[in-house]
Structure 1
Amino acid sequence: MRDQGAWLIFEDELGQSLRPPKARTWSRRGHTPVIKVTGKGSGRVSLAALVCARPGQRTRLLYRTLTHTGRKNEKKGFREDDLARLLDAASQQLGGKIVLLWDNAAQHKDAAMRELLETRSAWLTVFYLPPYTPDLNPAEGVWAHLKKSLSSLAPCTTGQLATKSRTRLKRMQYRADLLDGFIAETGLSLAPP
């Protein structure tokens, strides 16, 4: 990677429903804070993130969102062509070769995805993380930070949830130090030996 001047990219996906994640907070003694959630709707927001690192460059975060409202025959997550478009966008924005590390999810290893990745082999090299090792993927830190920031939010619609998620991710894009912290949590060092 270092010899080629390639970007090291970690990818992961997340699905978030209208039900907010549980969180703890402070309040006056005897006044337990309660957030009312409607519980209506079967909508969901799918998110895909790329944490992009290269020695000598600012760490970057690229992401995409998909909103599904629960309608019949509506896709419920990222498919092979969606992930391929995200990788194409990363190649265009970052420039240069890419070394992609992602998990062993079914949509990452099926025949359609292998075919799409093969057409990009001139600039893309793919490695799979070992099974059950989310602690090696800095994108998991992005999701933990996002969920914590959404913990006290009770959106009424998937549109509101998608907007808030995009806003929080946009803020993370401008905090290279936070993204570097997510990489440091994995134990990975990008410094030359």
Structure 2
Amino acid sequence: MIRDYQAIQKNWFIKGQQRKIPTYGKHAGVKLMGILNYESGHIYCEEHDKYDAKVFLEFLKNTLAQYETGNIVMILDNAKIHHAKLIQPFLEENKNRLTLMFLPPYSPNLNLIEGLWGWLKSNVVNNVFCKQNYLLFFYFIVIIFYYFLFKNKPNSFN
């Protein structure tokens, strides 16, 4: 979840004079689901009101629609919705096109999209006092991030 308030991180202030940080007083945010295709650099994102198995199932369907041909290997954490009974028939039906691979527990550093989410949180939300309609700004930043991340990517792995 990308929250619309600043999380206090490293901060400088004069000793004995604590800095005051303005807040909205609400814990609103944006729940994003996304995929990052390392080969092409394509980023696909969806915003949702909640995370549950139904939403994840629709996300999987939309992912297959984004990539109409070829095999997809999706790297995921071990969230309960990624293992839900509701999605099992869909996975069985699409096993020739879609493979889910699960990371070891507590290893977000192995998932490329987690780097994007972390960057959004630390460099956008924590450095800009966002207004209510900040989502378009996020998408703009994602495009810039995509450009710099993938403009010099390797063509092959040895």
TM-score norm. by structure 1 comes to: 0.64
Amino acid at match of 2:119: H
Between 112-121 and 79-88, report the one with greater CA deviation: 79-88
Q: Is the 8 A contact 1:80 1:112 kept in 2?
A: yes
2:17 pairs with 1:43: no
Q: Which of the two has greater strand per residue?
A: 1
Q: Is the 8 A contact 1:50 1:62 kept in 2?
A: yes
Q: Determine the C-alpha separation between the residues in 1 that align with 2:137 and 2:70.
A: 32
- Which fold has the larger relative contact order, with Cα–Cα distance below 8 Å and residues 6 or more apart in sequence? 1
Aligned length: 156
Question: In structure 2, do the counterparts of structure 1 residues 129 and 26 end up closer, same or farther at CA, with 3 Å as the change threshold?
Answer: same
> Partner residue of 1:128?
102
Which residue of 44, 68, 78 maps to 1:62?
44
Amino acid at match of 2:138: S
Secondary structure of the structure 1 residue equivalent to 2:145: helix
Q: Is the 8 A contact 1:35 1:154 kept in 2?
A: no
2:129 pairs with 1:154: yes
Q: Is the 8 A contact 1:84 1:117 kept in 2?
A: no
Q: Determine the C-alpha separation between the residues in 2 that align with 1:147 and 1:113.
A: 29
Gaps of 5+ in 2: none
> Partner residue of 2:139?
166
Amino acid at match of 1:128: F
Between 138-147 and 78-87, report the one with greater CA deviation: 78-87
Secondary structure of the structure 2 residue equivalent to 1:19: coil
CA displacement 1:21-80 (0-9 Å, x = unmatched): 2244789xxx9875411213x4331011212123xxx322211112x4xxxxxxxx2222
2:12 pairs with 1:16: no
Amino acid at match of 1:153: V
Between 116-125 and 77-86, report the one with greater CA deviation: 77-86
**CA drift at 1:98:** 0.4
Q: Determine the C-alpha separation between the residues in 2 that align with 1:103 and 1:83.
A: 13
Q: Is the 8 A contact 2:3 2:125 kept in 1?
A: no
**CA drift at 1:164:** 3.2
**CA drift at 1:156:** 4.5
Q: Determine the C-alpha separation between the residues in 2 that align with 1:179 and 1:91.
A: 27
Which residue of 96, 109, 120 maps to 2:70?
96
Q: Is the 8 A contact 1:35 1:152 kept in 2?
A: no
TM-score norm. by structure 2 comes to: 0.76
Q: Determine the C-alpha separation between the residues in 2 that align with 1:18 and 1:140.
A: 18
